C-alpha cells in the first residue's frame, strides 16, 4: 500500500473536502455488524481494491456500500492525480458516462407513471423524424428495407430499437459521416439536433428482434424534453436531483467544483499509466474527451452519457430504487414501476455486453440466474460507465455497492474487476 506522511495526507484530504461547495444529502450510517455486514469482509474488499491500485491498474477509487438503507462503508483509495500525488477524496466528482442511462430511464418512467406517455407508444409520436424506419441490408452499396414496425419507448428503454454506437462495423461509418455525437465530447449541438440526425439513419435490425447497446437513451432524453416541455437538464434538476438531494450531479460542472474531478488515465498493454488531457480527442471509433463536462463550448445534454456525480449522490439514487421508488418521503416512481424496470424485458434475447444469466430491464442490466456465484445476486440490477464507474443493487439481501474511478480500458486482467468486486461485496453480507 502507498504510504504518505500522515500530515501531508491529512492536509490534502481536508483541503479536498473543504473545496466542496455544497454537500450532498447523506444517507444515515451504521456500523457494519448492526445491519448484518462483516467488517472483516469489508476489509477484504478494501484490500482487493488496494492491491489493484498498488499494481497500477487504476489510479484511485471511491467505494461505498449500504445495507437496509444505511451506509456501512465509504472509503477513498489511491490518488486523484498521479503527477501531484493528490489523494482520492470521498467527495470526488466522477464522469459517470453510461450511468447517466438509469437516471434518464427513471425520468421516462416518471412521465409514464403520470400518464404523459406509454411504453408502447411509437417514438415518432414525439419525434416525427422516426416515422417509417428502415433497416440496413448493405452499406456498400447502401441498401435498406422497411422495418417490420416502428421503434417504441419500450424498445429504447431495453435497447431493442435497432440503434447502436459508432463502434458497430456496419452502421458506425454511416453515423460518423452524418456527424452523430455520443455525449462524451464538448459539442455545440443540441440534443434535438443530434437525435434528428440519428433518426435519418437506417436501423441495424427491426425493432424488438435483437438486443444492441447504443444511442437509444439519448433519444429517450429528447422524448423527456418534448413531453415535459423543459430541457433534460432542468427536468433532472427539478424532478430528480433536488428531491433526492443529489447536489453534486451535473451535466455542466460548476467551475468551483472542477478541483474535485479526478484525472482520467489509460493503462496501455505495456503496463504504463498514461494521463488523458483537456482539449484533446481520443478513441479510434467512439470519440471522447475528458473535458466535456466543464468545457464552456458544450451544449449537448446526453441522456446516455453526459452526467458527472459523486458516490454519495449516486448511492441516494440507488437507494430510491431499492426502496421501490421513494426516498425520505419523496416518491419518484410507483413500486410496480420499479419492479418492471428491474425485470427481464428482453426475453430470450442476448447481447455482447450481457454475460451468462444476464438480461436487460427498462434501463438496467438484470441478473436472471447465476452459475458459480452467490445466489443473493439473482434479481440484482446494475450498470457501469465508460470511465470505470459501477453500481449494483441487490434486492434479495437489501444492499447497494457504488464504485467510482476514472480510467479508460486496460489490460485483460482488469476486465475481471467487476466480477471480483461483486464477489467480495456479496461475501461481506450475512445470509
Among residues of the chain, what percentage have pLDDT more than 70?
A: 92
Q: Is residue 72 part of a domain?
A: yes
Find how far residue 190's CA is from the centre of its chain: 21
Q: Is residue 33 part of a domain?
A: yes
Q: Which three cell numbers stand for residue 55?
A: 499494481
The pLDDT assigned to 372 comes to: 58
Q: What is the pLDDT of residues 38-54, one digit of tens each?
A: 999 999 999 999 999 99
Confidence of residue 370 (pLDDT cuts 50, 70, 90): confident
Among residues of the chain, what percentage have pLDDT more than 90?
A: 83
**Which pTM was predicted?**
0.93
Find how far residue 97's CA is from the centre of its chain: 5
| Nearest by Cα to 208 from 319, 345, 114 | 345
| Nearest by Cα to 304 from 288, 322, 319, 315 | 288
**18: CB partners within 8 A, 6+ apart:** none
Per-residue pLDDT averaged across 188-197, rounded? Answer: 97
Per-residue pLDDT averaged across 337-343, rounded? Answer: 98
Distance CA 59, CA 407 (A): 8
Per-residue pLDDT averaged across 112-118, rounded? Answer: 98
Distance CA 323, CA 115 (A): 22
Distance CA 70, CA 319 (A): 9
Q: Is residue 295 part of a domain?
A: no
> Of all helices (H) and strands (E), which one includes residue 273?
strand 273-276
Which of these ranges, 16-20, 87-91, 152-156, 395-399, has the smallest mean pLDDT?
Answer: 16-20
Q: What is the pLDDT of residues 252-269, one digit of tens each?
A: 999 999 999 999 999 877
Three-state SS for 132-170 is CCEEEEEECCEEEEECCCCCEHHHHHHCCCCCCCCCCCC
Q: Is residue 338 part of a domain?
A: yes
| Nearest by Cα to 45 from 87, 15, 75, 22 | 75
Distance CA 178, CA 270 (A): 36
Q: What is the pLDDT of residues 268-302, one digit of tens each?
A: 778 789 999 999 999 888 899 999 999 887 899 99
Distances (CA, A) of 134 to 131, 161, 194, 212, 286: 9, 12, 18, 16, 23
The pLDDT assigned to 26 comes to: 85
Domain count for the chain: 1
Q: Is residue 296 part of a domain?
A: no
Per-residue pLDDT averaged across 224-240, rounded? Answer: 98
Q: Is residue 130 part of a domain?
A: no
The pLDDT assigned to 416 comes to: 76
Report which of residues 406 and 11 the model is more confident about: 406
| Nearest by Cα to 260 from 5, 9, 18, 8 | 18
Of 5-14, 78-87, 405-414, highest mean pLDDT: 78-87
Per-residue pLDDT averaged across 138-154, rounded? Answer: 97
| Nearest by Cα to 257 from 369, 70, 77, 89 | 89
Q: Is residue 288 part of a domain?
A: no
Looking up residue 411, the CATH number of its domain turns out to be 3.40.710.10
Confidence of residue 419 (pLDDT cuts 50, 70, 90): confident
**Whole domain around residue 328: which residue ranges?**
21-91+258-275+308-427
Confidence of residue 373 (pLDDT cuts 50, 70, 90): low
**CA-derived radius of gyration, the chain:** 21
Contact 212, 204 (CB under 8 A): yes
The pLDDT assigned to 353 comes to: 86
Q: Is residue 83 part of a domain?
A: yes
Contact 144, 135 (CB under 8 A): yes
Confidence of residue 415 (pLDDT cuts 50, 70, 90): low
> Average pLDDT of the chain?
92
Give bridge partners of residue 396 from the DSSP assignment.
none
The pLDDT assigned to 15 comes to: 45
Buried b (16+ CB within 10 A) or exposed e, 139-165: eeeeeeeebeebbbbbbbbbbbbbbbb
Amino acid at each position: 500500500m502507498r504510504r504518505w506522511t500522515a500530515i501531508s495526507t491529512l492536509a490534502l484530504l481536508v483541503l479536498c473536502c473543504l473545496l466542496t461547495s455544497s454537500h450532498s444529502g447523506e444517507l444515515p450510517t451504521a456500523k457494519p455488524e448492526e445491519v448484518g455486514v462483516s467488517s472483516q469482509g469489508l476489509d477484504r474488499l478494501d484490500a482487493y481494491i488496494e492491491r489493484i491500485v498498488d499494481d497500477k491498474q487504476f489510479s484511485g477509487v471511491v467505494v461505498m456500500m449500504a445495507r437496509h438503507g444505511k451506509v456501512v462503508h465509504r472509503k477513498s483509495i489511491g490518488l486523484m492525480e498521479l503527477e501531484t500525488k493528490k489523494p482520492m477524496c470521498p467527495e470526488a466528482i466522477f464522469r459517470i458516462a453510461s450511468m447517466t442511462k438509469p437516471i434518464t430511464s427513471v425520468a421516462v418512467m416518471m412521465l409514464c407513471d403520470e400518464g404523459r406517455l406509454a411504453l408502447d407508444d411509437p417514438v415518432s409520436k414525439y419525434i416525427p423524424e422516426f416515422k417509417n424506419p428502415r433497416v440496413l441490408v448493405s452499406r456498400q452499396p447502401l441498401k435498406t428495407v422497411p422495418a417490420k414496425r416502428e421503434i417504441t419507448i419500450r424498445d429504447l428503454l431495453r435497447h431493442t430499437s435497432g440503434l447502436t454506437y459508432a463502434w458497430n462495423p456496419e452502421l458506425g461509418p454511416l453515423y460518423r459521416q452524418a456527424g452523430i455525437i455520443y455525449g462524451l465530447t464538448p459539442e455545440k449541438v443540441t440534443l434535438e439536433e443530434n437525435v434528428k440526425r440519428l433518426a435519418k439513419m437506417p436501423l441495424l435490425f427491426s425493432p424488438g428482434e435483437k438486443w444492441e447497446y447504443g444511442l437509444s437513451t439519448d433519444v429517450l432524453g429528447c422524448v423527456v424534453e418534448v413531453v415535459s416541455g423543459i430541457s433534460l437538464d432542468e427536468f433532472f434538476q427539478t424532478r430528480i436531483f433536488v428531491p433526492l438531494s443529489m447536489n453534486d450531479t451535473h451535466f455542466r460542472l460548476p467551475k468551483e467544483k472542477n478541483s474535485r474531478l479526478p484525472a482520467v488515465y489509460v493503462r496501455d498493454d505495456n503496463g504504463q499509466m498514461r494521463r488523458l488531457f483537456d482539449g484533446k480527442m481520443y478513441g479510434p471509433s467512439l470519440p471522447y474527451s475528458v473535458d466535456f463536462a466543464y468545457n464552456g463550448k458544450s451544449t449537448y445534454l446526453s441522456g446516455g452519457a453526459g452526467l458527472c456525480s459523486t458516490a454519495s449522490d449516486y448511492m441516494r439514487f440507488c437507494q430510491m430504487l431499492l426502496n421501490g421508488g421513494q426516498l425520505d418521503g419523496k416518491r419518484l416512481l410507483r413500486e410496480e414501476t420499479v419492479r418492471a424496470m428491474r425485470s427481464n424485458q428482453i426475453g430470450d434475447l442476448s447481447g455482447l455486453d450481457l454475460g451468462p444469466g444476464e438480461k436487460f430491464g427498462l434501463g438496467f442490466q438484470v441478473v436472471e440466474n447465476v452459475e458459480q456465484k452467490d445466489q443473493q445476486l439473482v434479481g440484482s440490477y446494475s450498470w457501469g460507465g465508460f470511465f470505470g464507474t459501477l453500481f449494483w443493487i441487490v434486492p434479495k439481501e437489501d444492499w447497494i455497492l457504488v464504485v467510482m474511478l476514472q480510467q479508460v480500458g486496460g489490460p485483460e486482467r482488469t476486465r475481471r474487476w467487476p466480477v471480483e468486486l461483486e464477489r467480495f461485496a456479496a461475501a461481506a453480507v450475512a445470509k
